[in-house]
Every structure is written in structure tokens, then in C-alpha cells.
């Protein structure tokens, strides 16, 4: 039985996805950054507040490694796992009540993710109750949600934090009562049994930047389109890109924030073209408004330069139909399956990684056809890992 509170009616999920577009990593409204976060550095990636050289180097190294785990189930794969003993959390019987405190479903990425998580839950008969609470992008509400769930009969608690620092105390408190599994965004504590996430923001930002370095002549003008400042994952993406552009001798003509708004994106691109006499490449820290950027060049009568996007179907379709020079780093939606898998392993007393690092594929011209699907909605994320699940594609809005 799936029990939800908050605006999570299944019928609204994919219809909302068709109308909403924003970053995959931060709320579209409400708190969007950890307390004390600063604006982006203007002094190069290596000096950015959010740049850590060791983590940057590790993430880039991980992109070149082969993960452990089943080849056809990337949501169960892991990179450099250090396993944790979970025998203390083992429960008797096959009657599991799994609880989930969600930051929200305020963008298509999260809507596709939640639908995928629900489908994963449905695969496991031992999960007899699945309680989902939606924080609606509000830290205060999520703190209250976590406290309430911790006092219920949940066997394990999954949390996707709205922000990092503010949610940390609530999660630490919950850890004292039941096993906690954190995914997507992190917190400033190691008390969760496992923290699940793809490789990271540096790897994403570098993949997009390296593509432009390969396809834009030295000295070319790069337009960097960002969602919002002060969010750790997004800042990591940008700091890695800054470093790559600086080392390659590319000029960052403008760094602009779009708020995930297609109209704002179009206006920014149009203005940049006029002011600089043309743009040679477009880097984006999230691909939700990539199609709007493409359309802005077309409206201006300009050839679309090399551009980065994400695995949303509308961008993949535009890439294919317009024969763009493009690449799509991903923050794979299949990660929403992993916390359910992890919770069941924990409750069975099986080992799980302390930090469960998932692979983070990049879609290139050579692999575009593998992820392009004309039967799926424009804002569906191709890296969902949901193909072959019961109800696919209809339950994800497909035909």
C-alpha cells in the first residue's frame, strides 16, 4: 500500500512535468541553498568556495572506472564501495513499512524519479506499506516531516533533503531511532547508513566543458547558463567548467542565471548574441531549458553553436532533428530506484556501501539513438532505468 501526504496525486505527476521545467538539483521555489552558501566565484574554478581539488580529481577519475555490479542494472552498481555492516538493523518477517521524506516534486526530474521509485517499491512484495511525505520545497516542513515519520512504525526512512545544512540536525535525530538512507542531495553528517548519489557535480560540469573545449576554437566565446547560485551540486558543476575553460583558453563571455525559465533563457541568449556579435558555445549547468536556448539562436537567424543539455526528451529530439553539435551529461533518474534496494538490504542485515556512488553516463552523438524515444513526453528523463518495469511507458506518460 502506498500512502502519500502532500500534493503527490499520481495523475498530476506527468501532466505537471509537461508544464514545468527547472533544475534537477534544486527547488524551483522556497529554500534553494544550504545556509551560508555564497555566490559563484569570479576568479576561476580553482578559487571557488565550492571547489575541492581532491574531490574534483576523484570524480574525474571515477568517470574512467568500471563500476561493480550487474551490467544491466546501473542503479545497483557502485564505484569504489566501502561496505558497512548493517546486521544491527535486520528485522524479522516479510512485512516492511518503508517511509520516504521527499524534498518535493517541483520539477520534471523529480516527478519522473518519484514515479520510478514507486514502481521499484511495487516490485517487492515484502514492502506492504510505503509512506511518502512531500516537503514542497520547504526546509521547515521537511524537518517536521522527518520528525513525524521517525515517530511512526517505519522500518527504514529514505530522505532526499531539500537543502544540506538545514536538514542535517533533523536527520541526525532520526538516525538515533531507525536506519536512515539519504540520496540525491547530501547532509553534513555520516550517521545515515548509506548516502546514495551519482559521481557528482564536478564530473557533470567537466563532461560538458570538455565537449566545448573539443568543439570550440581557442579564444571562442562561451555563454554559461546557470539555474541559481549557492547550491553545492550546481556550484561544483560550474567550478569544474571554469577550470576547463581557463586551461583551454576559451573566453567566458557571460555567466547568467535563468531560474529554469525558458522565456528568461531565450532573452539572455538573444541579448548575448547582440552584445558579443555571436556566441561560439553554450554551457549549461542543467539542461532543462536547452531547447529554449536552441530556439533563441534560430529566432536570431544564427546557427546553433555547440551546446550542452541533459537527458530530457525534448532536448534529445531537438538534437536529433536539428543535427546539433551537442552532448548531454546526466544526473541519472535511475538513482531513485537505489534507495529502495538499499533499504531492503539494510533490513535484511546485508552490507551496503557507506557512500553508494552510482555511475553517471554522458549521452554523446554515438549513443543518442539509444536514449531517444518519440513515444515519451518532452520532459521525460531518458536515464530513468524504468524501461521494462511494469506499467512502462504509460505510467510515465508515454504511448
Closest CA to 290 of 21, 16, 12: 21
Q: What is the pLDDT of residue 32?
A: 25
C-alpha distances (whole Å) from 34 to each of 122, 139, 156, 182, 219 are: 34, 10, 25, 16, 35
CA angle 190, 192, 193 (to 5 degrees): 110
User: How many other C-beta atoms lie within 10 A of the C-beta of residue 226?
Assistant: 23
Would you say the CATH fold of 201-329 matches that of 67-199+332-359? yes
Distance CA 397, CA 377 (A): 6
Q: What is the pLDDT of residue 13?
A: 36
Domain boundaries, the chain: 67-199+332-359, 201-329
Length of the chain equals: 399
226-282 pLDDT tens trace: 998 877 788 999 999 999 999 999 999 999 999 989 999 999 999 999 999 999 999
User: How many other C-beta atoms lie within 10 A of the C-beta of residue 52?
Assistant: 14
CA angle 88, 186, 241 (to 5 degrees): 145
Q: What is the pLDDT of residue 228?
A: 85
Q: What is the pLDDT of residue 295?
A: 98
What Rg do the C-alpha atoms of the chain give, in angstroms? 21
Closest CA to 42 of 224, 214, 187, 268: 224
CATH number, domain 201-329: 3.40.50.2300
Q: Does domain 67-199+332-359 have CATH number 3.40.50.2300?
A: yes
Is residue 137 within 8 A of residue 143, CB to CB? The reply is: no
Chain centroid to Cα 38, Å, comes to 21
Q: What is the pLDDT of residue 230?
A: 77
Distance CA 256, CA 226 (A): 6
- Using 70 as the pLDDT threshold, list the residues of the chain that sit under it: 1-49
Distance CA 220, CA 275 (A): 15
Q: What is the pLDDT of residue 18?
A: 34
Q: What is the pLDDT of residue 231?
A: 76
Amino acid at each position: 500500500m502506498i500512502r502519500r501526504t502532500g500534493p503527490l496525486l499520481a495523475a498530476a505527476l506527468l501532466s505537471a512535468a509537461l508544464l514545468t521545467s527547472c533544475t534537477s538539483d534544486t527547488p524551483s521555489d522556497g529554500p534553494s541553498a544550504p545556509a551560508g552558501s555564497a555566490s559563484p566565484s569570479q576568479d576561476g574554478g580553482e578559487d571557488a568556495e565550492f571547489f575541492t581539488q581532491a574531490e574534483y580529481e576523484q570524480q574525474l577519475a571515477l568517470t574512467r572506472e568500471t563500476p561493480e555490479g550487474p551490467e544491466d542494472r546501473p542503479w545497483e552498481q557502485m564505484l569504489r564501495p566501502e561496505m558497512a555492516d548493517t546486521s544491527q538493523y535486520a528485522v524479522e518477517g516479510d512485512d516492511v513499512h518503508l517511509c520516504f521524506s521527499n524534498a518535493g516534486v517541483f520539477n520534471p526530474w523529480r516527478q519522473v524519479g518519484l514515479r520510478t521509485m514507486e514502481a521499484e517499491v511495487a516490485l517487492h512484495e515484502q514492502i506492504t506499506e510505503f509512506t511518502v511525505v512531500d516537503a514542497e520545497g520547504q526546509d521547515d516542513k521537511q524537518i517536521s516531516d522527518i520528525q513525524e515519520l521517525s515517530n511512526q512504525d517505519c522500518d527504514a526512512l529514505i530522505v532526499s533533503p531539500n537543502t544540506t545544512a538545514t536538514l542535517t540536525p533533523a536527520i541526525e535525530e532520526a538516525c538515533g531511532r531507525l536506519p536512515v538512507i539519504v540520496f540525491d542531495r547530501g547532509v553534513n553528517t555520516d550517521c545515515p547508513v548509506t548516502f546514495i548519489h551519482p559521481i557528482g557535480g564536478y564530473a557533470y560540469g567537466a563532461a560538458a566543458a570538455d565537449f566545448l573545449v573539443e568543439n570550440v576554437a581557442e579564444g571562442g566565446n562561451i555563454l554559461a547558463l546557470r539555474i541559481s547560485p549557492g547550491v553545492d551540486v550546481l556550484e561544483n558543476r560550474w567550478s569544474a567548467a571554469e577550470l576547463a575553460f581557463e586551461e583551454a583558453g576559451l573566453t567566458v563571455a557571460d555567466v547568467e542565471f535563468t531560474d529554469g525559465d525558458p522565456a528568461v533563457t531565450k532573452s539572455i541568449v538573444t541579448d548575448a548574441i547582440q552584445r558579443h556579435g555571436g556566441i561560439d558555445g553554450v554551457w549549461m549547468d542543467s539542461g532543462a531549458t536547452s531547447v529554449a536556448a536552441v530556439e533563441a539562436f534560430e529566432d536570431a537567424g544564427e546557427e546553433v553553436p555547440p551546446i550542452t543539455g541533459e537527458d530530457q526528451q525534448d532536448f534529445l529530439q531537438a538534437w536529433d532533428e536539428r543535427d546539433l553539435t551537442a552532448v548531454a551529461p546526466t544526473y541519472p533518474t535511475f538513482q531513485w530506484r537505489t534507495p529502495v534496494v538499499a533499504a531492503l538490504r539494510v533490513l535484511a542485515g546485508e552490507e551496503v556501501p557507506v557512500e553508494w556512488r552510482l555511475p553517471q553516463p554522458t549521452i554523446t552523438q554515438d549513443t543518442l539513438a539509444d536514449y531517444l524515444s518519440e513515444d515519451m513526453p518532452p520532459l521525460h528523463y531518458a536515464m530513468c532505468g524504468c524501461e521494462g518495469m511494469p506499467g512502462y511507458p504509460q505510467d510515465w506518460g508515454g504511448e
